């Protein structure tokens, strides 16, 4: 599974970073970015929680 952030939708609230800092971080523009590559199995659940908590639905985990 991989995590993706729609940069055009992200409002920079940092909820995803608070929930799953192993996968999400903020870039220099204050927009969330996801780690590149496959998610480790133990991070999938927290990445999905971050997706569900995103107030603007900018995160996809697939």
The CATH code that applies to domain 3-61 is 3.30.70.20
Determine the average pLDDT of the residues in 52-60: 98
pLDDT in tens, 10-49: 999 999 999 999 999 999 999 999 999 999 999 999 999 9
Residue 50 CA to residue 6 CA, distance in Å, equals 14
pLDDT of residue 60: 98
In this prediction, residue 44 carries a pLDDT of 97
Position 22 scores a pLDDT of 98
**All structural domains of the chain with their residue ranges:** 3-61
Q: What is the pLDDT of residue 3?
A: 98
Strands 59-61 and 3-5: antiparallel
| pLDDT at residue 41 in the model | 97
Task: Indicate the pairing of strand 24-26 with strand 32-34.
Answer: antiparallel
């Amino acid at each position: 599974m991989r995590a993706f952030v729609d940069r055009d939708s992200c409002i920079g609230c940092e909820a995803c970073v608070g929930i799953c800092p192993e996968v999400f971080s903020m870039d220099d523009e204050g927009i969330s970015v996801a780690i590149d590559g496959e998610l480790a199995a133990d991070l999938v659940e927290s990445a999905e929680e971050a997706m569900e908590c995103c107030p603007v639905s900018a995160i996809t985990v697939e």
